[in-house]
Amino acid sequence: MTEILEAIQSAFPSADVGILTNPSPCAQHSLLVAGKDALDVAKFLRDGLGYDFCSNVSGVDWPPKKVREVVVRKETVDGVESEVKETIEREVPGYLEVVYHLFSIAKRLGPVILRLRTGNRSDEVSLPSLTPVWKSADFQEREIYDLYGIHFEGHPDLRRLLMWEEFTDYPMRKDYVAPDDYEYEPTPHDEILAKVGPPKEVA
C-alpha cells in the first residue's frame, strides 16, 4: 500500500493523498484521495499501475456525531494549581464517502481501495465521476446518486437507478425515515387518464 502511495506521490507531487488504516484483522487499508485529484489518481492507477478492474463502488454515509472528549486543564484558583477534568462535547461534521475497490486483472493484485469524501452532507455533495476511467462504475455511481445523493460530476447519464424519478429522498442515508405506508406509490396514472379525456368514439 505504501508503495502505491509513493508511486502516486512521485507522479503527482501536489496530490492530496493519504493512507487510511483499517483496524480489522484483514488489514485492507485504503487510499484517501481529495476530490480534485481523484480523476488524475484514478487514471494513473489504471494506466500506470495496472489497476484496470474497478470491481465495487459503494457509498457510505457518516452522519455528524457527537464525540465526548475528556480534556485535562490546569487551572489556578486562588494561587492553588489544580487539574480540572472537563468533558467537552464536540460535533464531528458528517460527510458522505465513496469507496472504490480496484483490482488488477493482469497482475492479479488487489484490492486497492480508493476513498473520496464530500465536504458535508447537504450542499457540498459533488465528487468527480470515475466512470470515464472505469466504465463499470457507471451503474454503481448512479445507484449511489440514487441512494445517497452524491452528485457525480462528469457522469454520462446521472439518473436515479433503483428508485423512481419522482422520488426525492435518499433512502440509504442513516437519517432516512421510512414511510409508514410502504405500498404507497405515486403513479401518474390518473393524470394521464385525465389528459387523454373520455374515450373517443369511432364512427
Partner 1 sequence: MNVTLDGETVVKLQPVFGYLHRNHEKIAEGNSWLAAVPYTDRLDYICPLTNNWAYTLAVETLAGLEVPERAEYIRIITAELTRLQNHVAFMGFILADMGAWGSALMYAFREREKILDLFEALTGARMMCNYMRFGGCRCDLPSGWLESAGQLVEGFPAFLDEMEALLTGNEILLARLQGVAPLTPERAINGGLSGPILRAAGVDYDIRKVDNYGLYSRFKFRVPRGRVGDCYDRFMIRVLEARESVEILKQALVGIPDGPVVNPKAKQRGFRPPAGEAYGRIEGPKGELGFYLISDGSDRPYRFRVRPPSLINLTLLEELCLGTKIADVMVILGSIDIVLGEVDR
Partner 2 sequence: MELLERAPVELKNAFLRVLGSLGVPEGMLAILSAVLIIGTVIGVFLGLFALMSVMERKILARVQNRYGPNRAGPFGLFQPVADGIKMLTKEDLVPRAADKVVHFLAPVVMMVPALLVLAILPYGRDMVPVELESGILFFFAVGAGTEVAIFMAGWASNNKYSVLGAMRAIAQMISYEIPLVISAVTAAMIAGSLSPSVIVAAQGGFAAGFLPHWFVTTPWGFTAALLFYIGALAESNRSPFDLPEGESELVAGHLTEYSGFKYATFFMAEYIGMFAICGMFVTLFLGGWQAPLPFLTVVPSWIWFFGKVCFVAFTMVWVRATLPRLRVDHLLAFAWKFLLPMSFAAFLSAACWHYAGRGPAAWFLSLVVVGIPYLVLGLSFTSRFSVSRRTYLFSE
CB-nearer residue toward partner 1: 41 or 96: 96
Q: How far is the CB of 197 from partner 2 (least distance, A)?
A: 10
Query: Is-contact 15 9, C-beta < 8 A?
Result: yes
Residue 171 CB, shortest distance to partner 1, in Å, is 6
CB nearer partner 2, residue 25 or residue 199: 199
Q: Which of 5, 7, 15, 58 binds partner 1 (CB under 8 A)?
A: 58
Q: Does 7 participate in binding partner 1 (rule CB under 8 A)?
A: no
Segment lying near partner 2 (by CB under 8 A), choices 50-58, 115-123, 131-139, 192-200: 192-200
Query: Could you give the CA distance from residue 74 to residue 180 in angstroms, rounded to a whole number?
Result: 53
Q: Using CB under 8 A, pick the residue from 71, 164, 175, 188 that binds partner 1.
A: 164
In angstroms, give the least distance from the CB of 110 to partner 1: 9
Cα–chain-centroid distance for residue 149?
A: 9
Min separation Cβ 56 and partner 1, Å: 4
129 binds, among partner 1, partner 2, none (CB under 5 to 8 A by kind): none
Q: d(Cα 56, Cα 109) in Å, to the nearest integer?
A: 15
Long-range contacts of 108-113 (CB under 8 A, 24+ apart): 109/50, 109/51, 110/51, 110/53, 110/55, 111/28, 111/55, 112/1, 112/4, 112/31, 112/45, 112/51, 113/28, 113/29, 113/30, 113/31
